[in-house]
Structure 1
Amino acid sequence: MKPSQPPPRIAVLATVFNRREVTLRRLHDLREAAKGLDYRVYLVDDACPQGTGDAVRASFAEVTVIDGTGNLWWNGGMRTAWTRAIEDKPDYYLWWNDDLMFAPGSIAAMFEFHHQKEREYGPKVITVGKVADPDTGAITYGAMVRARGLSRLRFQLAPDDGQPCATMNGNAVIVPASAVEDIGIHSPHYAHSTGDIDYGLRANLAGYRLFQTMDVVGTTPFNIAFELGQSKLNWANRRFIFGHPKGVPWREWLHFCRRFGGPLWPVNFLYRYIKMALS
């Protein structure tokens, strides 16, 4: 960026439900992490019974609160936030999970990293923030690469080798405005999870390079409860697994497998449920 140019305008996208105090604390952290940047937060309150939206409105003038229906979940809420933010024509979008505690100055550092990659590779760059556990320091979320094997749908956390990545978790991600035309926004095919992984794969297909920051940008514990909820299939939880947004809804998994699984997509589709049933 040349000195004569105004700083880029950043739209921070988030969706929240029922953890008001966490959301408020993390918004304070975001202020510290984004000092010196021209940003606005677009936050979907998905009908939180705790009054999160009203509490945010009272304390954070830089946040546009959007009232959700209560049935948006993460992916639907991010679609809603993104759709609203597009109206203000920002230069970049920053995805943010409200349980992520950004380190002071980390968002500015993310954008410095992003601009460096733009200078090296051009405008088709997406930056993924590396996130760690607050107690152990182990990496919990970030960019991902394909795991070894025949399946195209097995991923693992990316190594620190500076190479482009296959896809990403959506905890902290910088997406340039051009991506809306080239890729779109979060897919309507998913309610809660998978939308971030889907977007990373679509970005690669559209010619974008995904890079993970070398430094940790903040802390979030690994959501083990969510993973355990998707790990076992039996008669008692079959409706949850096949139909609930926090399970593995069969229509969503079918769409994902057919879109990205290659010739082995039927094997991928069936294997996940068989593995859960045998666990």
Structure 2
Amino acid sequence: MDMAVILTFHNRKNKTLSCLKSLLHQTYVENGTIQLECYFCDDGSTDGSSEQIRVQYPKVHLTYGDGSLFWAKGMFKSLSKALETKHDFYLMVNDDVDFYPDMIRTMLESYYEVESKAPLVAIVGSTEDSFGGNWTYGGQIWNKQLIHERYVPVLPEKPCRECNMSNWNCFLIPDQMIKNIGSIDDYYEHAKADNDYSNRIILSGNKIYVAHKYIGICQRNSINNTWRDETLSLKKRLEYANKPIGLPIKSELHYCMKFHGVKWPLWVGKRYLWIYLSWIKHVIKERIRYNDGI
């Protein structure tokens, strides 16, 4: 059985190499159950990542960007290279995951457990933190409500549970699904491409299931010094929001117009209104605390 691993990276040499090592030392790879082909996109790294990969792992297929691809376009480029050759499965991963040795086994066993429950199924792997074993990324249930929007994590268990939204820290797609649904939408500047593909899977009448146990360790990304950081000034938060890795309007418009119908202006407005409202709330709290201190 043949599996292609899709990954993009930028200046995270130690994480990228550690991730690659964990992939190549999977139980199913070492015992010959799976033939693994790795397709990595180096988006303008200057830390010697690609040079090290070429020396240590010359069979890895490398493509290159100039630093402007970010995640969505980098993943698209890697997947495009992989699609030049027939593979049974495509495994989307992030290099910040420390994969357990039985990750591929867990993903495939989960796939075969549920493959008959829909025309086509994809499997999302769940990660946990290294401190208390708490869920960090994986599958979620999105309630699709404008006012009271919620994303509720779907924890791994047997039998596998269904979800309708997924993070691509570890995401397994069968070949036929990509043939039917298509590739990653590379219009996005960074994020949203995994949410986009999740929606496309569900809208096409297919399903996403959560693998039946955790597949690795991955810490949650910090919100410090991002557009979500309520301790920053409004100017600074808007500045971060406009960066490709923030909440760029081009990507938000594209996503909302694709999946929110005639209500897309409300969904776009909601994202940016939250920044203003949360900033006002923080300012009021700080003022109250200051006055109480006096």
Query: In the superposition, relative to structure 1, how do residues 257 and 151 fare at CA in structure 2: closer, same or farther (>3 Å)?
Result: farther
* Pair 1:83-2:87 in alignment: no
Residue identity over aligned pairs, in percent, reads: 29
Task: Write the deviation string for residues 63-85 of structure 1: whole angstroms up to 9, x where unpaired.
Answer: 11112221110111100000000
In 1: Cα distance, 2:277 partner to 2:224 partner: 19
SS state at 1:225 partner:
coil
Match of 1:137 in 2: 133
Give distance in 1, aligned partners of 2:40 and 2:152.
29
Report how far residue 226 of structure 1 moved: 7.1
Determine if the alignment matches structure 1 residue 197 to structure 2 residue 195: yes
2:96 to 78, 94, 99: 99
C-alpha distance in structure 2 between counterparts of 1:111 and 1:62, whole Å: 23
Amino acid at match of 2:258: R
Asked if 1:70 corresponds to 2:63, the answer is no
Report the AA paired with residue 238 of structure 1: L
- State the distance in 2 between where 1:80 and 1:56 align: 18
Maintained 8 Å contact 1:48/1:70: yes
Deviates more, 1:265-274 or 1:244-253: 265-274
| Structure 1 residues 50-199: aligned runs within 5 Å | 50-118=47-115, 120-121=116-117, 124-147=120-143, 149-150=145-146, 154-160=150-156, 162-199=160-197
User: Unpaired segments of 5 or more residues in structure 1?
Assistant: 1-6
Decide which of 20, 44, 48 is 2:41's aligned counterpart: 44
Q: Name the residue aligned to 2:207.
A: 209
For residues 232-262 of structure 1, what are the alpha-carbon distances to aligned partners after superposition, in whole Å with 9 as ceiling and x for unaligned? 57234434313x1111111211121122224
Report the TM-score, using the length of structure 1 for normalisation.
Answer: 0.89
Cα-Cα RMSD: 2.1
1:20 maps to amino acid: K
Verify the 8 A CA contact 2:229 2:237 in the aligned structure 1.
no
Query: In the alignment, residue 127 of structure 1 is paired with which amino acid?
Result: I
1:235 corresponding residue in structure 2: 235
Give the 3 Å change call, closer, same or farther, for CA 226–247 of structure 1 in structure 2: farther
Q: CA 1:265/1:127 → structure 2, altered by over 3 Å: closer, same or farther?
A: same
Structure 2, unaligned runs of 5 or more: 279-294
* SS at 1:134 equivalent: coil
SS in 2 for 1:71: coil
1:31 to 17, 20, 24: 24
1:151, distance to aligned residue in structure 2 (A): 5.1
Q: Deviations over 1:42-91 (max 9, x none)?
A: 01111100110110111113411112221110111100000000001111
**Bigger shift: 61-70 or 39-48?**
61-70
Aligned equivalents of 1:61, 1:117: Cα separation in 2: 36
* Residue of structure 2 equivalent to 1:218: 216
Bigger CA radius of gyration: 2
How far apart, CA to CA, are the structure 2 residues paired with 1:95 and 1:123?
21
Residues 153 and 260 of structure 1 are in contact (CA less than 8 Å); yes or no, is this contact kept in structure 2?
no
